Amino acid sequence: FMERVVWYEAVNASYLLGVDGISVTMVLLTTILTPAAVLISWSIKDNVRNYMALFMMLATGMLGVFMALDLMLFFVFWEIGLVPMYFLINQWGSGNRDYASMKFLIYTMAGSLGLLLAIQLIGVASGTFDLTQIIETWPLLNEPLSVLGLPITLPIATVKAVAFWAFAIAFAIKVPIWPFHTWLPDAHTEAPTAGSMILAGVLLKLGAYGFLRLVLPLFPEQSQTYAGVLAVLAVLAIIMGALSSWGQKDFKRLVAYSSV
């Protein structure tokens, strides 16, 4: 399945959606958990209309990320999923919701900057944001990249390394991997129950999906080169998450640390 509509012709970006073996599983998960989260929101009494509207916007962002085959569209849907969760925590969360929602916003916005940097580097170097074309051409690029039309060029190896780490940090924050995980326990604890359900069930999977969809196919050499660094961070995340979970008495915080 694929749908393509010309969106922003000046930068060769399209409204390009599609599903394959990786994304269809995540789409199915999202379409199951979102109605379930809505059904368990029966205790919400204040501003129910706004609450449900934010939940539908959140579902739109998550589904869009899983189906986007254009990098600019991928970024737009990524951001659409950020804003509703901030308001769900801030408006319908528990006691320390202001702190938790702001921390969530700061961390995820920092990741979004890295994501945008990587997407722009790839788009400028490739001349398109079409992921189906980029996967074939990007790993083979070997010509230096000119900087803003100036007589300055950057080695393509440097550009690829910067884009790789920009992607890796953006997705590591979302997974999250140690040491980018500290926003998660607070967000989990203070979010409404349905928000925690979506956070654990779908939102955290966006980071892992990003690694599978973008990092590994586009950066096979860099992934192999820096595999040791990422493996160390992953092992530390497992150890720190397990030890932190062991000492928790709050069930939501336990779930949060076990998700690290």
Alpha carbons 164 and 115: distance in angstroms, whole number:
10
Residues of the chain with pLDDT > 70, as a percent, come to: 90
Q: Given a cut of 80, is residue 1 above it in pLDDT?
A: no
Q: Band of the pLDDT at 88, cuts 50, 70, 90?
A: confident
The answer to whether the beta carbons of residues 58 and 192 sit under 8 Å apart is no
Buried b / exposed e along 115-144 (16+ C-beta atoms within 10 A): bbbbbbbbbebbebbbbeebeeebeebeee
Total domains, the chain: 1
Please report the pLDDT score of residue 230 as a whole number: 83
Dihedrals φ, ψ of 82, to 5°? -80, -50
Segment (H or E) for 124: helix 97-126
pLDDT at 253: 66
Lowest-confidence pick of 69-83, 195-209, 235-249: 235-249
In this predicted structure, the answer to whether residue 215 has a pLDDT above a threshold of 60 is yes
- pLDDT for residue 101 is more than 70: yes
* Whether pLDDT at 150 is above 60: no
> Out of 7-11, 97-101, 204-208, which region has the weakest mean confidence (pLDDT)?
7-11
Instruction: Give per-residue pLDDT as tens, 108-133.
Output: 888 888 889 888 888 888 778 888 88
Average pLDDT of 231-253? 76
Domain that residue 157 falls in: 2-258
> Mean pLDDT in the chain?
81
What pLDDT shows up at residue 55?
Answer: 86
Local structure of 45: helix, strand or coil = coil
What average pLDDT does the segment 133-156 reach? Answer: 71
Of the candidates 153, 152, 151, 171, which has an alpha carbon nearest to the alpha carbon of residue 163?
Answer: 171
